[in-house]
Amino acid sequence: MRKALALLLPGAVAGWLLRGQIAVAVTKKALPKRISADPVAALPDGLHIAICGSGSPIPDEQRGNPCTAVIVDQKIYMIDAGEQASETFNRMQLRPDQIQAVLLTHFHSDHIGGLGSVTLQRWVANAATTKLRVLGPVGVDRVVNGYNEAYALDNSYRTAHHGESIAPSATAGMVAEPFEFEPGETSKVVLEDGGLVITAFEVDHSPATPAVGYRFDYKGRSIVVSGDTVYTQSLVDAAQGADLLVHDALSADLLKLVENASREAGFENRAQILVDVTDYHATPAQAADAARDAGVGALAMTHVIPPLPIKALEGPYLGDAKERFTGPLWIASDGDLYSLPVGGRTVERSSLFASGPLS
Ligand SMILES: [Zn+2]
Ligand SMILES: [Zn+2]
């Protein structure tokens, strides 16, 4: 037996060594293409939206915390930066140095938990020449100040280690740009850049106030991102005639299964939280109603609650949403890209997740 093992081992070791050498060779060949990838450069003129997080605070193996990225004219505007935003952004091969600004919808932790990493990656990717602009309703200054303070030491170490030309101290961190609605106002333009107009509008996510959604208009195409909200008239007004509505959606029926199982397992606290959250998110039916009432062209549901670990759960999750809104309707997944080329009315869905040895 011992002799047999001795005969076997050198072969096994050689096999492992060979596998390692092949892996190094494959990596060496694939790395240049992976590092220089720039899917944004290949996009036609238009509005595009990439889903860098389609989940919620409930841990979900398939979906990161909320993050969407609107891409226009080779520039990226990120709406919310939940945990895993950076990782998913990287999986989509999007370049953090193309981020012009982050727009926060509200300050729940699942929407801001990835801000630190996004800011850091953008800063050092290409020696950023500006701090990261972070727009949001009043309160965004507190979030930004907190992150800047939390990262101050880390930033100083990196500048000390890599030098000012690689990690410039003057552009580390973020700068807050709070906005506020005037009395009686439920929407306002918060950013304009070339042909792009970004309008913030009020939504209802009480007691998380203020809370907003954003509408992007560019050369006749439009995308609306709801943020977290129940069905609300201010969203229906702001989304009128948009090409694509990206709306949060929580299935109360499926969540009830998780609540019941949590209660039976003795997690009363968790079960009660699952009851509470149903009163400040739209259901898929309500998201569909909002899409229909706003007359939008297509609907993508995001902030998917609860997780859908089995694909066949998508039907029960949607319920009768497809009868309420008869246009194209999708349940968003991380990596999704929705493209709205200028000059058309179509919304095309694809995935930006790379396939290959380094994906
Ligand atoms: Zn929220
Ligand atoms: Zn949320």
The per-residue pLDDT for range 176-185, each reduced to its tens digit, is: 999 999 999 9
Q: How confident is the model at residue 195 (pLDDT cuts 50, 70, 90)?
A: very high
The per-residue pLDDT for range 73-109, each reduced to its tens digit, is: 999 999 999 999 999 999 999 999 999 999 999 999 9
What's the pLDDT score for residue 7?
A: 54
CA 205 to ligand 1 centroid distance, Å? 7
Q: How confident is the model at residue 2 (pLDDT cuts 50, 70, 90)?
A: low
Q: How confident is the model at residue 11 (pLDDT cuts 50, 70, 90)?
A: confident
CA 120 to ligand 2 centroid distance, Å? 23
With b for 16 or more beta-carbon neighbours within 10 A and e for fewer, the 91-110 pattern comes to bbbbbbebbbbbbbbbbbeb
Structure-token pair, residue 280: 């400040």
Question: How many angstroms separate the CA atoms of 166 and 351, rounded?
Answer: 32
CATH of span 45-100+186-351: 3.60.15.10
pTM comes to: 0.94
What's the pLDDT score for residue 6?
A: 52
Q: How confident is the model at residue 16 (pLDDT cuts 50, 70, 90)?
A: confident
Question: How many angstroms separate the CA atoms of 52 and 63, rounded?
Answer: 9
Taking 80 as the threshold, does the pLDDT of residue 9 lie above it?
no
* Contact indicator for 288, 321 with CB cutoff of 8 Å: yes
What's the pLDDT score for residue 138?
A: 97
Taking 80 as the threshold, does the pLDDT of residue 3 lie above it?
no
Q: For the residues 332-349, what does the mean pLDDT come to?
A: 96
What's the pLDDT score for residue 12?
A: 78
The per-residue pLDDT for range 264-300, each reduced to its tens digit, is: 999 999 999 998 988 899 999 999 999 999 999 999 9
Please tell me the number of the ligand nearest to residue 66's CA: 2
Taking 80 as the threshold, does the pLDDT of residue 356 lie above it?
no
CA 203 to ligand 2 centroid distance, Å? 13
CA 111 to ligand 2 centroid distance, Å? 6
CA 54 to ligand 2 centroid distance, Å? 10
The per-residue pLDDT for range 149-165, each reduced to its tens digit, is: 999 999 999 999 999 99
CA 67 to ligand 1 centroid distance, Å? 12
Which comes out higher in pLDDT, residue 11 or 44? 44
What's the pLDDT score for residue 354?
A: 76
